[in-house]
Amino acid sequence: MNWLLVIAGAAVGAPLRYLTDVAVQKRHATVFPWGTFTVNVFGCLVLGLLTGAATFGAASGSVQLLVGTGLCGALTTYSTFSYETLRLAEAGAEFFAAVNVIASVVAGLGAAFAGVALAEAVWA
């Protein structure tokens, strides 16, 4: 039955990713992939919060499957991040490609650490 939790989370995460990407990109007239950046950083924050919650006994294995594997697995996307970075570089926008890589890694790690810190503040 664990697979049902993953499917349920993914059924929410995938459309949420698409809708967020479209909404964010509409607001920015730039080649930078703000939509993918947004969902990936948000996903890192949620995973950090979930990891912290699990560490302090506030999130069960079922919640981890539903939210971590299902929702965040479908919400975030390393393949689109990679594709968009490659597309930027091939189009001659090497600066934006480099910024995408650096900003995504720094912001993603920062968001994950912030999520764990928030969980610790709430549940420790």
**Residues 83-122: pLDDT tens digits?**
999 999 999 999 999 999 999 999 999 999 999 999 999 9
Higher pLDDT, 67 or 1: 67
Select from 55, 49, 98, 47 the least CA-distant residue to 76: 47
Domain ranges of the chain: 2-123
**Residues 29-49: pLDDT tens digits?**
899 999 999 999 999 999 999
Burial class (CB in 10 A: 0-12, 13-18, 19+), 52: buried
Q: What is the mean pLDDT of the chain?
A: 97
Burial class (CB in 10 A: 0-12, 13-18, 19+), 8: middle
DSSP structure string for 76-103: --HHHHHHHHHHHHHTT-HHHHHHHHHH
